[in-house]
Amino acid sequence: MPSDLLATPDLLRSVFRRHAAGVAVITARGDTGPVGFTATSLASVSAEPPLLSFGVGTGSSSWPAIAATDHVGVHILGEHQQDLAATFARNGADRFGPPTVWREGPEGVPLLDGVLAWLVARVVARVPAGDHRLVLAEVLHGDPTGTGRPLLYHQGRFQRLPD
């Protein structure tokens, strides 16, 4: 078998660059303030009970808060929010400083304004998955009434749906 077909981190990244994914921001209340990160691993798991999942790197600055919290916020970003997605993806960024607009939501979770939809969910499990944890959470609250079209991530860049 050619070496370029063997499973490596680069192979996995190359294949998933071809997979278009919706863009979400996950938030939580940390010991020193709100934390959050951009995620493309968000998935619906179950309708009854309403469960979702996302992955988080154990080396990320948000992991300690996600590891300790009982509740998370999940925000579906619109195509107008590329800058917000980039801010929450960048290491060392002041993610909750201006121009980010947010408020405290149910269960004390930081909620971002202007998103297409948001959910607040109770963490029910953190499953080891290599250098990440797969977080399973039960949806408690939400609002699907934001307007606009979803932001996508494809080929290593934020993208818009074609007209």
Residue 5: per-residue pLDDT: 77
Q: Residue 1: is its pLDDT beyond 60?
A: no
- pLDDT tens digit string along 75-85? 999 999 999 99
Amino acid at 110: P
Provide the b/e sequence for 90-103 (b: ≥16 CB within 10 Å). Answer: eeeeebbeeebebe
Q: What mean pLDDT is predicted for residues 3-12?
A: 81
Any residues with CB less than 8 A from the CB of 59 and at least 6 apart, and which?
Answer: 131
pLDDT, position 2: 64
Q: Are 76 and 118 in contact (CB under 8 A)?
A: yes
Residue 113 three-state SS: coil
